[in-house]
Amino acid sequence: VASYRFCRSDDLPLLSRAHEACYRPHFQELPALDVSALRRAGREIDLWTSSCMVAAVGQEPVAVLLATKRDDAALIWRVGTHPEHLRQGHGRHLLTSLSSKLAILGPRRMLAEVPAERAAARALFEGCGWRLDLEYTDFVLRRPSRPAPASDLVMPITIDDLVSNAAFDGSARRAWERSPATLLKRKDSVRGWAVASDVRIEAHLLFDDDPAAGERRLLALGCADAALEATWWTLLVGQLAGADPRPLRYARVHAGEVPFELLLSWGFERGPTTLGYTRQPQAA
* Residue 256 makes contact with ligand COA by CB under 6 A: no
Q: How far apart are CA 231 and CA 223, in angstroms?
A: 10
Closest-by-Cβ residue to ligand COA is 91
Least gap, CB of 72 to ligand COA (angstroms): 20
Tell me which residue of 196, 168, 195 sits closest to 182, measured CA to CA. 168
Least gap, CB of 115 to ligand COA (angstroms): 6
Length of the chain: 284
Q: How far apart are CA 136 and CA 143, in angstroms?
A: 22
Tell me which residue of 198, 205, 197 sits closest to 243, measured CA to CA. 205
Q: How many CB atoms lie within 10 A of CB 241?
A: 24
| Residues 127 to 166 in contact with ligand COA, rule: CB under 6 A | 127
| Residues 112 to 131 in contact with ligand COA, rule: CB under 6 A | 114, 118, 120-121, 123-124, 127
Tell me which residue of 136, 112, 138, 137 sits closest to 126, measured CA to CA. 112
Using CB under 6 A, pick the residue from 57, 86, 134, 243 that binds ligand COA: 86
Least gap, CB of 76 to ligand COA (angstroms): 6
Q: How many CB atoms lie within 10 A of CB 88?
A: 16
> Which residue, 114 or 157, has its beta carbon nearer to ligand COA?
114
The torsion angles phi and psi of 84, rounded to 5 degrees, stand at -90, 0
> Which residue, 130 or 266, has its beta carbon nearer to ligand COA?
130
Q: How many CB atoms lie within 10 A of CB 202?
A: 18
Cα dist. 165→158, 160, 204 in Å? 11, 9, 12
| Residues 56 to 75 in contact with ligand COA, rule: CB under 6 A | 63
Least gap, CB of 157 to ligand COA (angstroms): 34
> What dihedral do alpha carbons 59, 65, 68, 72 form, nearest 10°?
-130
Least gap, CB of 19 to ligand COA (angstroms): 11
For residues 15 to 34, the per-residue mask of contacts with ligand COA, x marking binding by CB under 6 A and - elsewhere, is -----------x--------
* Residue 81 makes contact with ligand COA by CB under 6 A: yes
> Which residue, 24 or 187, has its beta carbon nearer to ligand COA?
24
> Which residue, 132 or 228, has its beta carbon nearer to ligand COA?
132
* Residue 111 makes contact with ligand COA by CB under 6 A: no
Tell me which residue of 58, 61, 33, 57 sits closest to 47, measured CA to CA. 33
Residues that bind ligand COA (CB under 6 A): 26, 63, 78-81, 86-92, 114, 118, 120-121, 123-124, 127
